[in-house]
Structure 1
Amino acid sequence: MSSKKKKTRRLNYKRLFLLIILLGFVVAAGIGAGFVVGVIRNMPDWQPDKIEADLTTFFYDRDGQQIATRYMENRIPVKFEEIPDTVKEAFLAIEDHQFYNHHGINFYRLAGALWANIRHGWGSQGGSTITIQLANNAFIEHRQKKLERKIQEAILAIQLERTYSKDDIFEMYLNQIYFGNGAWGIQAAAKTYFGKDVGELDLAESAFLAGVVQRPAAYDPYKYPERALARRATVLDRMARYGYISEEEAAKAKKEQLNLNNEPLQQKQKYPYFIDYVIDEAEDLLASQGIDPIQLYKGGLHVYTTMDTRIQNKIEEVFSNPENFPKTNTEQPLQCAMVVIDPHTGDILGLMGGREHVTQRGLNRATQMKRSPGSAIKPVSVYAPALEKGFSPATVIDDVPVTYPSPQKPYQPRNYDGRYRGLITMREAIKHSVNIPAVKMLDTIGVSTGFEFAKSLGLPLVESDKNLSLALGGLTYGVSPLELVSAYGAFANGGIWGEPRA
């Protein structure tokens, strides 16, 4: 029996090569699928039907006129119908001219951007749509890696398109985006750059705002006006290319000056001391209602104050004139504070906490600085309670030296001028601010009587103030100008004290 030789099969390199490629595709697909699954699992916690943004809070005077704003992000929302067509068309032309034709992702633009990035380097052209930009601004935290973020943006954009109409998405986008110089949203941008409402913007202004959002710092018109004008021209050219405006309209708008509002360069807020105190009050009010006080800076609240701007403006005018204050021997200016209230309601009509305002929520001398009231406390802690006890302005007091025993050392009050007037009426004693009669009258009515009366008028006295030096303003911690003014307000209101409010 003859033996047959076993045939040796040759290695098919072509099949091996195809197998390796196939295996590579399978591995790559697995890795890609795993990556996408990981991206989806790490999607931000979001509710597409509840897109929220920080809003600007407005403050108004007693007549309902706006006097100040406070914010974390300066944003004033507007309705879609309030935004002119020129503004919408400018954004469509430069950001996403096929916005109304895609479902959140523009695959043609994405392919074009990919090809441009391959040819000219990554980042040379973007493929984001308006919907993707909204998703990015509203939900995405920029700590993620770029590829992961891009995938999440695309997924969120599709969800947004399924939840909202195109006009709703466009409105949210225009209210969300950052325009530079602290302006968030189209209305705040119109106010910041041009000092007008969005509905008053012309073609050139609309084109500028549409262009600045790409790189707000690079196109800042206050720092780089040439760049800003060049970017505006690009937007106008795009508007003409897509038929939103004619070539003639574009050429005419290019010739217009920027006509910027200069106020953004003046970061100083009006009435800072008054508004600081209003915020203090508002925070306490919100907290008492279980509302986070941070809403004052992000909740878009409307806060109505008691300010009389005529009084406040006059106070500010007086304080701004250095001729109204004596000079000092140091570099530090003499400081002071002022408060004006309506004694019948307790409304604070005007308030100034110092000659210069250094920082928001800083030291407010009108409300926070505690000092001895000195003789100003005599009507509050001595003579008013004496009248209630039955004494009269004609009551006679002997102004002569007196000594009161004390565990530490005897208390011997003195008059400021070193004189002693003998028998004088209570009226004369308060007229000339004589010390000894005040101390004697407090001793007569009882220290506790004067102490409790002063507390009933809002003075923040403590137990250690319950002694005869109370008659002369010898307090442990002192009082603020607002507290003292408020106490005096009771005298002009038939003896009824009203808690001050702003």
Structure 2
Amino acid sequence: MSSSYQNRQQRWIKWVMSLKRLWEFAWKGGLTLLIPLLLMIGWYAWHASKFDLSETSRMPERTVLLDRNGIEIGTIHGANRRLVEFEEIPTFLKICLFAREDARFMDHEGVDFWGLARATLRNAKDLDFTQGASTLSMQLARNTFDLREKKSLNRKFLEIAITYRIESKFSKSEILTAYLNRIYFGSGFNGIEEASLNYFGRPTSRLTKGQCALLVGIIRAPHACSPWRNLEGAVRQRDEVLDRLITTEVITPEQADAIKSQTLDLRNPNAGDLETDHGTRVLRRPLEIVLNETQITTGGLEVITSIDFQLQRKLEKLVQETSIPDGCQMASIAIDPRNGDLLGVVGCREKKPTGFNRALDSHRDLGPLMIEPLIGTIALERGHLPIVGNPVATGRQLQAQDAIQLLKRFGFEGTFGKGEDLYRGTLSVSPLELAIAYATLLQNGSRPMPVFVRELIQKERTLFSRPAASFPAFADHSRLKKIPDFISGLSLPGTDHWAASLSPEKVIVVWIGYDNPKPFNLSLRESQRLKADLLRIAR
């Protein structure tokens, strides 16, 4: 055997041995790396399992208040958010969102590895976490579970683990809907519906293409690019979204120009809201009685109230525009005598009401003209005839204590005057109590129970329903032969001016006076104007 052949054979053997050693090293090294990798994956999977995934679709939203005719009068409780269904999201908004935030949303399983690799290279180049490559699913995980520590590998790995759990439990449409309902759009608006209603005055389902592109554009910087705060910046973000659609050949440059030329129809942030502050505020009290703490915090309820939105606005205008002495206050309340529905409540002259509601909580003396029909009714109850125009003479036919007990049947709970002063109207009542008393007259002695909340609905399921109720306060023979359609008068000291209109469909009571009682005069012209306004509103 030649020496050259032996040399070749030795080199072959060395090469095989080297290859074998390399394989053993790679296998052992790979196994060494695989074990901690599996342990790390297991740790993050275990940590992610602690999170309740139902939180992704469960989020606090506003409780919506509807008037008796189904008109929205305001929102209270919960977060500043309203939820939408997947079917309400415009197709163009989804297209914009995918192009801007997550082009492979429908294809990946929660993590876009191509985007993650690209972001990793960029971060390595910048020596910082300048890019995150978060998919919509990852953003949903981060926003739902408040993973807001500074960008780090720990946060990213935990976010990925939770994301895989979300993707395994929910469909793509459920994830997309939860994402749009949860994220912040600036100016205090959480979720796409709240942003759409406030920025553009229309629901999500009716957004134009330009409005869709703008809302998607401001997601990355909702505070800095809020259209109410920085319209130029918001428009610039809209244009970037449309340019991205051109790049991906979803739309043509001509189509993008047409969308950019559309008016945004942005609402004026200083414009008055449709809702009535007086009506919304007064409903907080009964709702806090009906609702438990969880329902108040979580919101998301639909409340059908007794309020008549149009009448409420008319009463607010009446109270705010009636000419009265400086420093005087005014309150008004309306009730449907047939079922006790409180149709409107205005507790003060101010447009933004305070905590004290004079229509419900203030108790002031009536006066002889205002109490006369009530004294006539209790006299008839005891078989005596009312003496028209003279409530004191009518009252003399009754025992004082018996008269007080009979007046309590109207629902009065205040201080009752002594002797004949009682029949002159020295009786402390609230506007609400007086409205109920006059409603009792119209209902032949049947006192209606006042109602603020008719029905409480959650997810199309009725939680609470309040039927009409009444109390038989007086017998049929107690009915007055003639019930006036308008009554007005002063208390004995001249510190309180009252007016009321009475009709089968509504009783409206108005009170005017100083919070610290002192006499005042309401001009004849204003008294006549008040009467005309009340009778007009009552029609």
Q: Give yes or no for TM over 0.5.
A: yes
What amino acid is the match of 1:86?
A: F
1:450 aligns with 2:403: yes
Q: Give the conservation status (yes or no) of the 8 Å contact 1:96–1:129.
A: yes
| CA distance, structure 2, for counterparts of residue 376 and residue 293 of structure 1 | 45
1:491 aligns with 2:449: no
Measured after TM superposition, the shift of residue 104 of structure 1 is 0.7
| CA distance, structure 2, for counterparts of residue 455 and residue 480 of structure 1 | 13
Measured after TM superposition, the shift of residue 309 of structure 1 is 3.4
1:168 aligns with 2:174: yes
Q: Give the conservation status (yes or no) of the 8 Å contact 1:174–1:185.
A: yes
Structure 2: give runs of 5+ residues left out of the alignment.
1-27, 453-539
Determine what percentage of the aligned residue pairs are the same residue.
31
TM-score w.r.t. the length of structure 1 is 0.74
Q: 1:461-491: CA deviations, max 9, x gaps?
A: 4xx758546545556xx43211221122111
Distance 1:295 1:50, change over 3 A: same
Name the residue aligned to 2:290: 285
Name the residue aligned to 1:260: 266
Measured after TM superposition, the shift of residue 379 of structure 1 is 4.3
TM-score w.r.t. the length of structure 2 is 0.70
1:235 aligns with 2:233: no
1:367 aligns with 2:360: yes
Alignment map for 1:162-201 (pairs within 5 Å): 162-201=168-207
Measured after TM superposition, the shift of residue 49 of structure 1 is 8.0
Structure 1: give runs of 5+ residues left out of the alignment.
1-21, 287-291, 394-425
| CA distance, structure 2, for counterparts of residue 369 and residue 112 of structure 1 | 68
Q: Give the conservation status (yes or no) of the 8 Å contact 1:57–1:297.
A: no
Measured after TM superposition, the shift of residue 149 of structure 1 is 3.7
Name the residue aligned to 1:314: 314
1:215 to 218, 221, 224: 221
| CA distance, structure 1, for counterparts of residue 297 and residue 271 of structure 2 | 20
Measured after TM superposition, the shift of residue 198 of structure 1 is 2.1
Q: 1:51-110: CA deviations, max 9, x gaps?
A: 201223222222222232335333332222332211000000010001112111112212
| CA distance, structure 1, for counterparts of residue 441 and residue 120 of structure 2 | 78
Alignment map for 1:131-146 (pairs within 5 Å): 131-140=137-146, 142=148
| CA distance, structure 2, for counterparts of residue 144 and residue 337 of structure 1 | 54
1:459 aligns with 2:452: no
Q: 1:167-193: CA deviations, max 9, x gaps?
A: 221122122222122322222222222
Distance 1:346 1:451, change over 3 A: same
Of 148-157 and 230-239, more deviation after overlay is shown by: 148-157
Distance 1:101 1:145, change over 3 A: closer
| CA distance, structure 2, for counterparts of residue 277 and residue 457 of structure 1 | 23
2:120 to 102, 114, 119: 114
Name the residue aligned to 1:342: 336
Alignment map for 1:401-480 (pairs within 5 Å): 426-430=387-391, 437=393, 441=396, 445-461=398-414, 465=416, 468=419, 470-471=422-423, 478-480=428-430
C-alpha RMSD of matched pairs (Å) = 3.5
Query: More strand by proportion, 1 or 2?
Result: 2
| CA distance, structure 2, for counterparts of residue 334 and residue 213 of structure 1 | 49
Distance 1:97 1:190, change over 3 A: same
Q: Give the conservation status (yes or no) of the 8 Å contact 1:104–1:132.
A: yes
Q: Give the conservation status (yes or no) of the 8 Å contact 2:368–2:424.
A: yes
| CA distance, structure 2, for counterparts of residue 147 and residue 265 of structure 1 | 44
1:272 to 261, 277, 280: 277
Distance 1:41 1:197, change over 3 A: closer
Name the residue aligned to 2:523: none
What amino acid is the match of 2:388?
A: R
Q: 1:385-417: CA deviations, max 9, x gaps?
A: 222112112xxxxxxxxxxxxxxxxxxxxxxxx
| CA distance, structure 1, for counterparts of residue 356 and residue 148 of structure 2 | 37
Measured after TM superposition, the shift of residue 146 of structure 1 is 5.3
Distance 1:256 1:379, change over 3 A: same
Q: Number of paired residues?
A: 424
| CA distance, structure 1, for counterparts of residue 198 and residue 110 of structure 2 | 30
Q: Give the conservation status (yes or no) of the 8 Å contact 1:177–1:184.
A: yes
Q: 1:274-320: CA deviations, max 9, x gaps?
A: 2222332233233xxxxx25535643222222233342232222233
Q: Give the conservation status (yes or no) of the 8 Å contact 1:385–1:450.
A: yes
SS at match of 1:69: strand
Name the residue aligned to 2:459: none
What amino acid is the match of 1:327?
A: P
